[in-house]
Amino acid sequence: MRAAMRVFDFNRAIARTPGETVIHGLRAGDQPDPSFEGVLREHAAYLAALRSAGVEVTLLPALPEFPDSMFVEDPALVFPEGAILLRPGAPSREHEAAHLAPELNSHFAEVLDLPEGHADGGDVLLTPGGRVFIGLSARTDAAGAAALIRQLDRLGYKGEIAHTPPGTLHLKTASSLIDEETILATEALAASGVFNGFRVLTVPAGEEGGANVLRANAHLLTGNRYPRTLEMLDRFGAKLIPLEVEQISRIDAGLTCMSLRWWAGV
């Protein structure tokens, strides 16, 4: 099945309703709290964009005891062949995976656990040919990356370590897959050589947040705050769906982290 599909072909997704505590979510800088109403509005527009791209979305209820739980891609990974429950590196997110487990077990015949270390899904970038980059960061350590490589192998994927530049929150904060040959990345990550062998589009200086985009089928979901990045992607020929990300960006959120996406055989 995977050989016939592109890695950004999706027909199913799981997302979680933001809880009111999301305004106190984790953040690397000193950004102000987002407004809860703004987060709800941006999240709803994101789900609408996924649906317009041809993805059926299962929306799970809020978990207010976990402020960051709307970012479902950090505690789990999904593939057509199965799912992996992760161990996020932030202590406040340690038990989120257990709340995803029942839903994942209802969709996948094989649901694996991460036996040791810590890994966030935001540090995991799937590329064509079953090649999976795992970025080391403050949230993903060497032990977690090594354990994840072993579990990926069980599902038929080849994991490899990506050494990201200092200060990179997540690998996918600074890079995204655009098509089967092309990656969008910040200048620092592009210069690191991590993506040698790919065509790399570099986001303009000052628009580093624009490196996190989500390819879903024929469409590319992007933040609307990065006009030069949008212009570059438009020239490249991408079918853009620009989305408001003002509020979620205050809690270091990206478009990739708000859903778990896969192709389910029909």
Q: What are phi and psi of 219, to 5 degrees?
A: -110, 155
68 belongs to an annotated ligand binding site: yes
Asked whether the beta carbons of 22 and 36 are under 8 A apart, the reply is yes
Q: Residue 19, Cα to own-chain centre: how many angstroms? A: 19
Residues in the chain: 266
Specify the number of domains making up the chain: 1
pLDDT 10s digits, 202-244: 999 999 999 999 999 999 999 999 999 999 999 999 999 999 9
Which residue's entry shows tokens 């038990």?
95
Q: What is the CATH number of the domain that holds 44?
A: 3.75.10.10
Q: Which domain holds residue 128?
A: 2-262
Question: Quick one: pLDDT at residue 4?
Answer: 56
The ranges of the chain with pLDDT < 50 are: 1-3
Measured from the Cβ of residue 163, the count of other Cβ atoms closer than 10 Å reads: 11
How much is the CA Rg of the chain, to the nearest whole Å? 17
Question: Quick one: pLDDT at residue 28?
Answer: 81
Residues noted as catalytic: 170, 257
Question: Quick one: pLDDT at residue 219?
Answer: 98
81 belongs to an annotated ligand binding site: no
This prediction's pTM:
0.95
Residue type, 169: L
Asked whether the beta carbons of 79 and 109 are under 8 A apart, the reply is no
251 belongs to an annotated ligand binding site: yes
136 belongs to an annotated ligand binding site: no
CA distance 18 to 166: 30
